[in-house]
């Protein structure tokens, strides 16, 4: 055996188990799921039949599924810009304070590091109706009226969304700060020499140079909000995704179809739809930003 | 940015904003902790500090005979440590192979592994469950752990780090007649400990916090991980808020400790790229 062949053999030996893993636990399940979305596969059924597009027809005729898609869109469309704009502002402020940057950064990222289930239950406790919830207690004490929050079909989704913004904020702030570190100070100095104001520096230099980082965050956070599950599962009232399905996300719909109703085929087609949406949104974002990056 | 000082007199308002935000970010944790120190009579009084702080809630969730909490804590620890050890070994081995070996198909294999990052967990849990049922893995540690034994993100991270490593050291070890696996353990791994630390921390945090798959993979309360247990706590504890807040506090404790020790690596890891699982 030549030296090169021996080295290649060693490489394949090292890669053996991982390749079996990636094919067996990532690709094959994905393909299996796509195939099963065209069948009436159910955990309680003995046989499996091909049903063509019947599952897709049934979910798109299901008002709960359509509602879950609308809710998912609300989470993503409202949540992503909110968290990006807020974290950008925080990062810009943090970048100019002379002291304590590290400490603030650490405080802000704490919600991102801790278990979502645990912080969700803390917020659930704080959102309680009077006299149990601290937020309502504060509202009442300053003369505002008490709110239903998670118990209301109109306020529950924004409340869950706010909690997720609170969770993701520190993460985005750190990524923005890291992006700002890469801006060469010589550019700033030169612009300042030319008499640029602080606002001009921000608009003409900082923000354009942060565009790649912003793109990364829009994609990551967009996917994050489109996939929202744990927050909804642990914060929703009056049945999962309640009240009245007003907070139900697409992922929660899929979970319930699969593991409450055991309609695996229907759940598989719903997850295929969600996957297509995530993929399409990501590609469109990349495309739009690509044009902006190359102006 | 010392030069900006003269031009930006607005440092005081900046600190006001940052401190107010700190209150918003930290108050839930404070309220959780203080609630866990209250007894059943104080929990519904909206006073910030408990009049008579007590550790009874902690004693009760850890020591009372029908509490499953210690078991959940143990389950989470087992799952977190075992998957992290596995990920560290396989991801660094694959990263090393892809960075330092030449063989046919290398590029395709790399792309194949990286492309799995595009597949969200939600798309896979249904077939994973079918697989786990067929192989009788449901409700076992292996059933909870198997999807996370190797991480594509970790492979990517380790490959990037390994690529910057000088070849001379590895070649020198080969000339000395060392075999490949000992070279990997004795020469390669010590050179990438910073990357291993980042990978270990994020993998442990991710597994400790994981919810969707453990929720599906377990069937009996004995096998719950902490997040699954907490989500079911309200049923078990009967809206016993002081117990729920105590459980939440304890579930965060290992992470807060990891966080305080490794804050530099965590900030660096987040800055490196999007690390969410």
Kindly indicate the confidence band of residue B9, based on its pLDDT and cuts at 50, 70 and 90: low
Q: How confident is the model at residue B66 (pLDDT cuts 50, 70, 90)?
A: confident
pLDDT at B192 over 50: yes
Q: Which of A28, A115, A173 has the most B C-beta neighbours within 10 Å, making it the best mutation to test the interface with B?
A: A115
| pLDDT tens string B76-110 | 999 999 999 999 999 999 999 999 999 999 999 99
Q: Identify the band that residue B275 occupies on the pLDDT scale cut at 50, 70 and 90.
A: very low
Q: A289 CB near a chain B CB, below 8 Å?
A: no
Query: Which residues are paired to A50 by β-bridges?
Result: A39
Query: Does position B6 have pLDDT exceeding 50, yes or no?
Result: no
Residue of A nearest to B204 (CA): A113
Distance (Å, rounded) from C-alpha A182 to C-alpha A209?
A: 9
pLDDT, mean of residues B203-215: 94
Residue ranges in chain A modelled with pLDDT below 70: 1, 291-295
Contacts of B73 in chain A (CB under 8 A): none
Structural domain spans, chain A = 63-293
- Rounded to an integer, what is the distance from CA A161 to the centroid of its chain? 11
Task: Write the CB contacts of B163 (distance below 8 Å, at least 6 apart in sequence).
Answer: B99
The pLDDT, as a whole number, for residue B1 is 43
Task: Note whether A233 contacts B231, CB cutoff 8 Å.
Answer: yes
Q: Which residues of B fall within a CB distance of 8 Å from A123?
A: 28
Q: Does the pLDDT at position B239 exceed 80? A: no
Residue-wise pLDDT for B125-182, tens only, equals: 999 999 999 999 999 999 999 999 999 999 999 998 898 888 888 888 888 888 888 9
- A positions 245-284 inside 8 Å of B (CB): 251, 254-255, 258-259, 264, 267-268, 271-272, 274-275, 278-279
**Residues in B touching A251 (Cβ below 8 Å):** 122, 212
What pLDDT sits at residue A196? 81
Neighbours of A143 (CB within 10 A): 6
Asked if residue B5 has pLDDT above 50, the reply is: no
What pTM was estimated for this model as a whole? 0.91
Length of chain A: 295
Alpha carbon of B65: minimum distance to chain A alpha carbons (Å): 23
Better pLDDT: B9 or A232:
A232
Query: Confidence band (pLDDT; 50, 70, 90) for B42?
Result: confident
- Give the residue-averaged pLDDT of B6-33: 86
Task: Give the model's pLDDT for residue A233.
Answer: 95
Contacts of B90 in chain A (CB under 8 A): 17-18, 21
Q: Are A222 and A283 in contact (CB under 8 A)?
A: no
DSSP B115-140: HGGGS-HHHHHHHHHHHHHHTT-TTS
**pLDDT above 70 as % of chain B:** 93
Tell how far CA B149 is from the center of its chain: 13
CA distance B180 to chain A (A): 8
pLDDT of B4 over the 60 cut? no
pLDDT at position B238 is 61
Residue A39: strand pairing partners: A50
Residue B273 confidence (pLDDT)? 59
Measured in angstroms, the CA of B241 and the nearest CA of chain A are apart by 7
Among the partner-chain residues A123, A234, A271, the one whose CB lies closest to the CB of B122 is: A271
Residue of chain B nearest A167, judged by CA positions:
B25
Please provide the CATH number assigned to the domain covering A63-293: 1.10.3720.10
Question: CB A121 to CB B120 under 8 A?
Answer: no
Side-chain half-sphere of B132: how many Cα atoms within 13 Å? 23
Class of domain B62-272: mainly alpha
- Backbone φ/ψ region at A132: left (φ over 0), alpha (ψ -120 to 50), beta: alpha
Cβ contact (<8 Å) for A104 and B180? no
**Mean pLDDT, residues B193-214 taken together:** 92
Averaged over B238-263, what is the pLDDT? 89
Angle at Cα B138 formed by Cα B137 and Cα B141, nearest 5°? 70
Interchain CB contact of A63 with B (< 8 Å)? no
């Amino acid at each position: 055996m030549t030296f090169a062949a021996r080295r290649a053999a060693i490489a394949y030996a090292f890669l053996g188990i991982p390749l079996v893993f990636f094919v067996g636990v990532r690709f094959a399940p994905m393909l299996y799921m796509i195939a099963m979305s065209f069948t009436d596969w159910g955990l309680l059924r003995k046989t499996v039949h091909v049903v063509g597009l019947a599952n897709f027809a049934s979910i798109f005729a299901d008002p709960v599924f359509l509602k879950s898609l609308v809710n998912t869109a609300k989470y993503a469309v409202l949540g992503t810009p909110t968290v990006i704009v807020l974290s950008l502002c925080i990062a810009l402020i943090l970048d100019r304070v002379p002291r304590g940057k590290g400490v603030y950064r650490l405080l802000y990222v704490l919600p991102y590091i801790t278990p979502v289930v645990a912080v969700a239950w803390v917020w659930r406790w704080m959102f309680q109706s009077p006299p149990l919830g601290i937020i309502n207690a504060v509202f009442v004490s300053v003369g505002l009226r008490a709110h239903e929050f998670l118990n209301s079909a109109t306020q529950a989704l924004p409340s869950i969304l706010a909690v997720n913004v609170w969770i993701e904020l520190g993460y985005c702030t750190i990524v923005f700060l890291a992006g700002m570190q890469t801006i060469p100070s010589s550019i700033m100095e030169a612009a300042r020499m030319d008499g640029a104001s602080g606002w001009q520096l921000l608009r003409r230099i900082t923000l354009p140079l942060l565009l790649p980082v912003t793109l990364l965050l829009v994609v990551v956070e967009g996917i994050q909000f489109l996939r929202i599950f744990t927050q909804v599962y642990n914060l929703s009232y009056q049945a999962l995704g309640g009240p009245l399905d007003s907070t139900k996300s697409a992922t929660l719909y899929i979970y319930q179809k699969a593991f409450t109703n055991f309609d695996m085929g229907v759940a598989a087609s719903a997850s295929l739809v969600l996957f297509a949406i995530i993929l399409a949104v990501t590609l469109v974002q990349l495309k739009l930003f690509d044009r902006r990056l190359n102006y | 940015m010392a030069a900006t000082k003269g031009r930006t007199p607005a440092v005081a308002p900046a600190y006001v904003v940052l401190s107010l935000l700190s209150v918003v970010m930290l108050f839930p944790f404070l309220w959780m902790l203080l609630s866990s120190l209250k007894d059943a009579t104080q929990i519904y009084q909206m006073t910030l500090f408990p009049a008579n702080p007590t550790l009874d809630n902690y004693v009760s969730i850890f020591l009372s005979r029908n509490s499953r909490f210690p078991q959940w804590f143990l389950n989470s620890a087992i799952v977190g440590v075992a998957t992290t050890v596995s990920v560290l070994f396989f991801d660094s081995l694959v990263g090393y192979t892809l960075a330092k070996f030449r063989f046919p198909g290398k590029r395709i294999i790399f792309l194949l592994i990286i492309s799995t990052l595009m597949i969200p967990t939600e798309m896979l849990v249904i077939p994973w469950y079918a697989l786990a049922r067929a192989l009788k893995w449901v409700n076992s540690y292996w059933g909870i752990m198997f999807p996370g034994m190797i991480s594509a993100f970790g492979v990517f991270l380790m490959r990037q780090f390994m690529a910057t490593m000088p070849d001379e050291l590895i070649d020198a070890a080969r000339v000395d007649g060392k075999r490949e696996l000992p070279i990997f353990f004795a020469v390669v791994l010590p050179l990438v400990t910073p990357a291993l630390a980042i990978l270990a921390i994020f993998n442990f945090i991710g597994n400790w916090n994981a919810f969707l798959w453990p929720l599906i993979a377990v069937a009996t309360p004995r096998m719950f991980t902490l997040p699954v247990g907490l989500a079911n706590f309200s049923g078990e504890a009967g809206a016993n808020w002081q117990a729920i807040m105590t459980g939440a506090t304890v579930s965060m404790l290992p992470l807060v400790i990891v966080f305080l020790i490794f804050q530099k690596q965590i900030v660096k890891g987040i800055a490196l790229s999007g690390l969410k699982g």
